[in-house]
Chains A and B, each alone.
Chain A
Amino acid sequence: GNSVTQMEGPVTLSEEAFLTINCTYTATGYPSLFWYVQYPGEGLQLLLKATKADDKGSNKGFEATYRKETTSFHLEKGSVQVSDSAVYFCALRVTGNQFYFGTGTSLTVIP
């Protein structure tokens, strides 16, 4: 079947620290991979995506590389800010229109 597993939180970091949120997946076929971010009280917003193996998605200083050999799509940022505090969801989409989301990882960045 199709599923996404991401590291459990909550994660608390100091400002300017390095961030990694792990995400691994199981999928039939060739999935597209996504990271969504949810700020408090809001809906999910697309952060970045990658549609094929070895693609790197990037946005707002965040990056993730689609690794087919390890079935992973880990989210990284070199220097987090307080404004990055949110819940981050890894997701995949296989052929068709159904998305599969991970359970979310809460990130809090303290000054």
Chain B
Amino acid sequence: NAGVTQTPKFRVLKTGQSMTLLCAQDMNHEYMYWYRQDPGMGLRLIHYSVGEGTTAKGEVPDGYNVSRLKKQNFLLGLESAAPSQTSVYFCASNLWAEDEQFFGPGTRLTVL
């Protein structure tokens, strides 16, 4: 049982490049989330999903897109990266909304 995994762990992009971050969970969780963590800001919710085929905007969705084609995977896309998107990105999941969230190890993204 791997829990929540994230790919890649580190990435450096140039401004304007695109990339996709992959989150996978093997716990059959319905809910999945993408957060970004910035110094002095805590975690902020980017997008989330309440089930396969559904997505919704969180607190800071601009510049990001997401997809949940399979229940176990939640993809976060940056179409045209900007330096302001330099951050650590965390994926999380839970079975029901009331449950604790289980977090992945994070992806450190730097946009030059």
Chain A residues with a Cβ under 8 A of chain B: 4, 32, 34, 36, 41-46, 49, 89, 93, 96-99, 101-104
Measured CB to CB, the closest approach of chain B to A54, in angstroms, equals 19
Q: Is the CB of A41 within 8 A of B105?
A: yes
Which chain B residues have a beta carbon within 8 Å of chain A's beta carbons? 4, 31, 35, 40-45, 48, 50, 58, 90, 92, 94, 97-98, 100-101, 103-106
A–B Cβ pairs within 8 angstroms, 5 of them: A43-B4, A44-B101, A46-B101, A99-B101, A103-B41
Q: Is A101 touching B48 in the complex (CB atoms < 8 A)?
A: no
- Of chain B, the residue at the smallest CB distance from A99 is B101
Contacts of B40 in A (CB 8 A): 103
The reply to whether B106 and A97 form a contact with Cβ atoms under 8 Å apart is no
A107 to chain B, nearest CB (A): 16
Verify B98–A32 contact, CB threshold 8 A.
Answer: yes
Q: Which residues of B have CB within 8 Å of A45?
A: 103
Contact A98 B100 (CB under 8 A): no
Residues of A within 8 A of B41 (CB): 103
Which partner residue on chain A sits nearest B104 by CB separation?
A43
B103 touches A102 (CB 8 A): no
- With both chains docked as a complex, state the minimum distance between the C-beta of A99 and any C-beta of chain B, in angstroms: 6
- Please give the distance in Å from A20's CB to the nearest CB on chain B: 19
Q: Which of the residues B4, B45, B103, B106 comes within 8 Å of A98, measured between beta carbons?
A: B45
CA distance A103 to B35 in the complex (A): 13
A43-B90, A99-B45, A101-B42 provided; 19 other pairs, C-beta below 8 A?
A4-B42, A36-B103, A41-B105, A42-B105, A42-B106, A44-B43, A44-B90, A44-B101, A45-B103, A46-B101, A89-B42, A89-B43, A96-B97, A97-B31, A98-B48, A99-B101, A101-B35, A101-B43, A102-B42
